[in-house]
Amino acid sequence: MNASLRTLKYSLIAASALLLMPLHAADTKDPLSIAGALQASSQQHRPVLLDFHAVWCYSCYYMASHVLNGPDWAAVERKAIVVDVDADSPDGQAWMDKLKVSFLPSYVVLDEHGNELGRISAEQPRQIFYPRINAILANGNTLDALKTKAQTGSVEAVVAVLGAYQARSEGEAGIAWFAALPTPVRKSATHDTRVGLGLEQLTLAKAEAGTDKNAIVASAQKVLASDIGCQRPYVLDSLLEASQGLPTAQRNALLISQRKPLDNLLDTHVFVTTPSCADQRSAVLVSADLDAALGDHTAEAAILNRAIDLTRQRLGNDLTSDRNLADNLRVYLDRAHRTAELDDYQHKLIAAYPQDYVYPYRYGRSLLENGKPADALPYLAQAYDKSYGENRLRVASFRVKALKELHRDSEARKVADEALSTNGPWFPKAAAQLKAQLAS
């Protein structure tokens, strides 16, 4: 969802008021906390849908612009108590840890007792998101209930449980669960291609949780041999990273076969009038990375230029018409090293989204990293005034760095003290980083 419109300050609401509240938390004057939504759920006997997002999450902008709207979304809001959860808030981070949410955006459905009924991770096109979310809301199956059904031989339940483990990046646990199923159930399930692919994806997740690069390479190749649609860029990215230590000839032989299926994905699902892959950015960047790894820098530049031109056509002159595309263009210009264009474009983004800290922060940080602390400071100060939570501490760290490079140590101390006093207790890791920056 568009986090710039929904910077949340969670509040507790009395139980008597909960019964009278609209179902979507964002429709209230004071947004629901997750605890408040669960309390309402126990009284209304409706599930709770947690929409995890962040102001810096470009995929969240895609969902807000293209998916979470219209009659379909209104129907979801009638079925469930929808809570917008800011991943940068203390409450949001605590629930992400509790539910093991590792992707943004994520949509997690809970019953009135806080048991998970299901989840959808990362951005999805409408035609995939709504059948999945409506099935979760209709079935009301907790993971434990699905496991019980799987024990009786339900292949659909096996597929659903494997998918749940994958969404949590719990490869080892998912593989162990499948291995513990009754032998007849396992043998029957393995005849289903979805089960085989699910197990291979869990094997990849298990390998990625470890340090064995060879295991990641082997598993990623097996997954990529299947028709995995819009998931291909993510798996290929794992293969690119894990294969970096291989001899050049061996790595090229490994990667060259990935060019054709990725090109096909780009031509049929990304570079089309109505893309069916929600995350176009990852497909473009991984394609450029693949060309770079193969030493084909002409092709690398061509794919980025193609993406830049097409994105500009889609955007027109209004950067607020589609923030996902607007942010994609920023990243493509950066990746293509079109520095002058990027500098001009970042000023336009700051003007187009004046209430957000993200763009002045990114621009100020880039100026600082390019040795221009005096130029960076006004943008970092602007970002600091608009930031909150953990991000306020992060912005403060770069603001402190800029001030120290300008030998304005007393101002740096003042900025750090203010940020630590208001946000430090909630985010100890970010607070420690800010203290380290001050002391450096």
What is the distance between the alpha carbons of residues 289 and 297, in angstroms, rounded to a whole number? 10
Mind listing the domains of the chain with CATH numbers?
Answer: 3-140 (3.40.30.10), 357-440 (1.25.40)
Residue 18: is its pLDDT beyond 60?
A: no
Is pLDDT larger for residue 28 or for residue 178? 178
In angstroms, the CA 58 to CA 190 distance is: 37
- 188 pLDDT higher than 90: yes
- Whether cis (ω within 30° of 0) applies to the bond prior to 105 is yes
> What are 52's strand-pairing partners?
85, 106
Least confident segment among 120-124, 140-144, 407-411, 424-428: 140-144
The pLDDT assigned to 263 comes to 97
Strands across the sheet containing 48-53? 81-86, 48-53, 106-110, 116-121
- What amino acid is encoded at 331 in this protein? V
Q: Minimum mean pLDDT among 320-324, 332-336, 423-427: which range?
A: 423-427
pLDDT of 309 above 50: yes
| 205-249 pLDDT per residue, tens | 999 999 899 999 999 999 999 999 999 999 999 999 999 999 999
- CB neighbour list of residue 248: distance below 8 Å, 6 or more residues apart: none
* Mean pLDDT (whole number) for 290-313: 97
**Percentage of the residues of the chain whose pLDDT score is greater than 90:** 68
Classified as helix, coil or strand, 252 is helix
pLDDT at 366 over 80: yes
Q: Residue 212 CA to chain centroid, in angstroms?
A: 25
Residue 32: φ, ψ to 5°: -70, 145
Give per-residue pLDDT as tens, 65-96: 889 999 999 999 999 999 999 988 888 888 99
Confidence (pLDDT) at 20: 26
Give the residue from 343, 328, 247 showing the smallest Cα distance to 288: 328
Structure tokens given for 17: 């008021």
pLDDT higher than threshold 60 for residue 107? yes
Of the two residues 30 and 411, the one the predictor is more confident about is 411
What is the reported pLDDT for 244? Answer: 96
Please check the confidence at residue 305 and state whether its pLDDT lies above 50: yes
CA atoms within a 13 Å half-sphere pointing along the CA-CB vector of 15: 6
Element (H, E) at 228: none
Q: Measure the CA–CA gap between 388 and 383, rounded to whole angstroms.
A: 10
Q: Of 178, 183, 75, whose CA–CA distance to 134 is shortest?
A: 75
Residue 27 has pLDDT above 80, yes or no: no
Average pLDDT (329-358) is 95
φ/ψ (deg, to 5) at 48: -110, 130
Mean pLDDT, all residues of the chain: 88
Taking residues 430-435, what's their average pLDDT?
94
| Predicted local distance difference test score (pLDDT) of residue 6 | 30
> How sure is the predictor about 339, in pLDDT bands with cuts at 50, 70 and 90?
very high
The lowest-confidence range among 163-172, 173-182, 316-325 is: 163-172
Given a cut of 70, is residue 100 above it in pLDDT?
yes
Q: Is the pLDDT of residue 340 over 70?
A: yes
**Confidence at 31, pLDDT banded by 50, 70, 90:** low
Q: Do residues 434 and 421 make contact, with C-beta atoms less than 8 angstroms apart? A: no
Amino acid at 207: A
CA distance 184 to 173: 20
pLDDT at 24: 36
Place of tokens 């800029």: 402
Select from 386, 410, 440 the least CA-distant residue to 7. 386
Name residues whose C-beta falls within 8 Å of residue 426's C-beta, 6 or more positions apart in sequence.
90, 389, 390
Residue 141 pLDDT? 63
